[in-house]
Structure 1
Amino acid sequence: MYRGGMMNWRKGRGSFPSWLLILVLLVLREIKAAYHKHEIKHIAVSTSQTLLDLIVVCLVDDIHWASYHKSSQQFVMKAAWMSEALGKNIIEDIQQSAVKNEEYYQLAIHSLIRNDSQPERNHTLQILLDCDLDGEIQLSSHIKYGLDGEDMLQLDGLEGQWIVLNPIAHSFRFKLEEPFWSEVRKNYIKRYCIEIMQKILWNSSITKNRPPEVYVSRQDFPNGTITLSCTATGFYPQSILLHWEKGTDGAIWGKESSSGTLPNSDDTFYLRISLEIQPGDPGTGYACVVEHSQLESPTLYFVPENSSKGNLWTVALSIVLAAILTISCFVIFTKWKKRKSESSKSHGQIWIRTTANDPVWEDGNAE
């Protein structure tokens, strides 16, 4: 009966539902079919007996979305929409888990420093956990333990084997391989790493892929060097490739520098690369090549030729004109001041003739 209803509905609507369904599926596929990474970083400071401090930082695609601090025992979200995306029950569960696990960090440090000659000194435990998604497919997960800046243990995948990176961690490895702790680890990765990342991605603008906005500029310097800059901003996802090309051979001679890919305030990313060209190179024919998942193909952005050079001449001419105007004003002011001084002097004295051939000055104010 349900099938017959669907058939009648399709006949009445024509082909519209078919292409609409295809369009929706394509949009969903575009949103999902992207690589994403969730990192959870734990930093604990403790003696063998007391946990002094604990900070947990969570990042999705290098965007900081939440953190936990032992001092407040609060799981703090970076944006209100994230709380709505996860829901009240999950947030309370995360916070209770963080408070409950405080004891675990102190036990881990105690196990790692059991042979330490100074057990009462402070130690810093670092745990890095990450998981990767390609659409709805979990690619991998990794856990690494570090103590006081040195790597201790590493695990790749849910079913992998712990790799000891420091001999003092052998006994702790056996503890981690116990069935109870193995099950705790798997549940933690599934619930707090994978499922939370999926909820954030599905309910936020972070999944809206954006192509980069690209700006190319050129600056000429008096010593003959030229600096070319290529800036890409406002793009998502994070993965992008920028490089310089010249003509058809693609040979580039110069000093390159990069800002590195940095996050913007709107969860998009920013990258700038610069190329310093040596004197003698006119700087013509250069292009910035940009490759990003939201661009159909690698796109060339050519550098404007001599644009900065014209600006340099304009600045230089402005400086010369300003100098001429300043000097002219100074000369005019000096002459005016001299004339004023002579005029004041002539008004304060009287010219008299005592004899026909003997002129003298006499103070006109004298009584």
Structure 2
Amino acid sequence: MKVPAVVLLILSSVHLVSTDSHSLSIMATFISGETQFPEITMAVLVNDVPVEYYDSDINKFVSRRHWRVNDSIQETDLRDYVVADIGNILQKSSHTLMKKYNHTQGVHVSQEFAACDLEDETLSRFFIMSAYDGEEKFQYDALSHIQNTLVPEFVWSKETSDIRKQIYANTYQPLCVKTLRRYLQEDKNTLLRKERPRVRVIQKTEPHSGRTQVSCVATGFYPRRVNVTLLRDDRPVPDRELTGGEVLPNGDGTYQLRRSLSVSEEELRERHRYTCTVSHLSVDNKLDVKPEAPADPVLISAVLIAVLVLTALIVTAIVLCRKRRHTGEEDEDWMMDRSIIVTLINCGVTIRDTEEVFH
């Protein structure tokens, strides 16, 4: 099973949406072959948030809105029809392509992705896509009724085209729009919230190559749509020079993104100015962040030396005091112990620490 294909289809539901629109999408996966997964799974997302789930083992839609207890799924009749229709399409297309490519063994994955976009309460886009083993095979714009297929077997006849038009217009479209509007109204505090990104520019040495990696890191933002650009002397670094760029989920419902540039020692000596600029719905203007100032090595060395000296004083005091306790001696060396204790206090050791040494 090629999991990355599933991820790519989910991501497309986000990146195809403009900043002023909202999208509801359904992603369905059919697996042929022996796996531990259900044969058919479906996920419904509003913008980028999973809200419903279905698989052929449980044979029903369940809510994925963990912020809403005892939630129920509405319009179950229409949903049941869509599930049956999508499942039938996936099985037929999978059988067709397995025969075409002579795939008689192994695990193979067919997927269908449908989404509707609302912009200012108006349906701005409604489309369907399908893929097989991670490769896109079919697209259909349900508003303009334009079909684009990479597989001749998927070209509709006139009769099939008329039937699909009616199904998409009379069932898929109204269900998609109604469901999206309801979710945006009922759960706007969750689905329409805005979390501001925290941005850093980090420079660190690559241990194996000796080069320096300059990374622009944005994290903690929601919604998922974000634009992160790394600038060199106020000019965007070409994408071909950068690594990363994939938006990844955090564990708290927000997202993160990292873009990195590998810089040679020669380039580093040229003292370029690197800046990270981030555009997001949560900020009015772009965020421009410069690299963090590197730590002063002289200061670090001074702190380490002070810590080592202080540790040595503590150990010395404890050893002398224990020796005095065992021998019972009370001579002039006691003044040395006491001076050590005074030194420790002046260096910031607590009274409790000094009491432990005395006793």
TM-score (norm 1): 0.61
Q: C-alpha separation between the residues in 2 aligned to 1:186 and 1:214?
A: 44
Distance 1:257 1:123 in 2: 30
1:23 alignment partner in structure 2? none
The separation in 1 between residues aligned to 2:86 and 2:273, in whole angstroms, is 59
Maintained 8 Å contact 2:50/2:65? no
**Cα gap change, 1:97 to 1:224, in 2 (>3 Å):** closer
* Partner of residue 191 from structure 2, selected from 206, 209, 214: 206
Deviates more, 1:34-43 or 1:114-123: 114-123
Check if 1:182 corresponds to 2:170: no
The question of whether the paired residues in 1 share the 8 Å contact of 2:223 and 2:254 is answered with yes
1:247-286 correspondence to structure 2 within 5 Å: 247=233, 250=235, 256-280=242-266, 281=268, 285-286=273-274
Number of residue pairs the alignment of both structures matches:
287
Q: How many angstroms does 1:215 deviate by?
A: 2.8
Q: For the residues of structure 2 that align with 1:72 and 1:108, how far apart are their CA atoms?
A: 23
Identity score, percent: 22
| Closer, same or farther: CA 268–120 of 1 in aligned 2, 3 Å | closer
The answer for unaligned runs of 5 or more in structure 2 is 1-17, 313-359
The change in CA–CA distance for 1:306 and 1:53 in structure 2 (over 3 A counts) is closer
Alignment partner of 2:235: what SS? coil
Equivalent AA in structure 2 for residue 238 of structure 1? R
SS of the residue 2:191 aligns to: helix
Counterpart residue type for residue 271 of structure 1: L
- CA shift, 1:115, in A, is 8.5
Find out whether 1:241 has 2:207 as its counterpart: no
CA 1:301–1:115: 2 relative to 1, 3 Å: closer
- Structure 2: how far apart are the matches of 1:53 and 1:308? 58
What TM-score, normalized to structure 2? 0.62
- Report 1:1-367 matches (<5 A): 34-45=20-31, 53-81=39-67, 87-91=72-76, 93-95=78-80, 97-98=82-83, 102-103=87-88, 105-106=90-91, 124-147=109-132, 151-170=136-155, 173-174=156-157, 177-204=160-187, 205-220=190-205, 225-247=211-233, 250=235, 256-280=242-266, 281=268, 285-307=273-295
Match of 2:329 in 1: none
**For 1:185 and 1:267, how far apart are their aligned partners in 2?**
32
1:73 Cα deviation from its structure 2 partner: 0.6
- Find the aligned partners of 1:115 and 1:270 in 2 and give their Cα distance: 41
Distance 2:157 2:299 in 1: 69
Q: CA deviation at 1:143?
A: 1.2
AA in 1 matched with 2:218: A
Q: Is the 8 A contact 1:245 1:252 kept in 2?
A: yes
Counterpart residue type for residue 289 of structure 1 = T
AA matched with 2:282: Q
Please give the alpha-carbon distance, in whole angstroms, between the structure 2 residues aligned to 1:118 and 1:232: 43
Mapped partners of 2:202, 2:104: distance in 1:
58
SS in structure 2 opposite 1:162? strand
Unmatched tracts of structure 1, length 5 or more: 1-31, 326-367
1:74–1:142 CA distance, 2 compared to 1 (3 A): same
What CA deviation, in whole Å up to 9, does each residue of 1:117-156 have, x standing for no partner?
9999987542221222324222212212345666543211
Per-residue CA deviations over 1:151-208 (Å, capped at 9, x if unaligned) read 54321132413334212224xx127735443222223332343322232233321201
Aligned to 1:5: none
What RMSD over aligned residues (CA atoms) do the two structures have, in Å?
4.4
Q: Check the 8 A contact 2:241/2:261 in 1, yes or no.
A: yes
* Secondary structure of 1:126 counterpart: strand
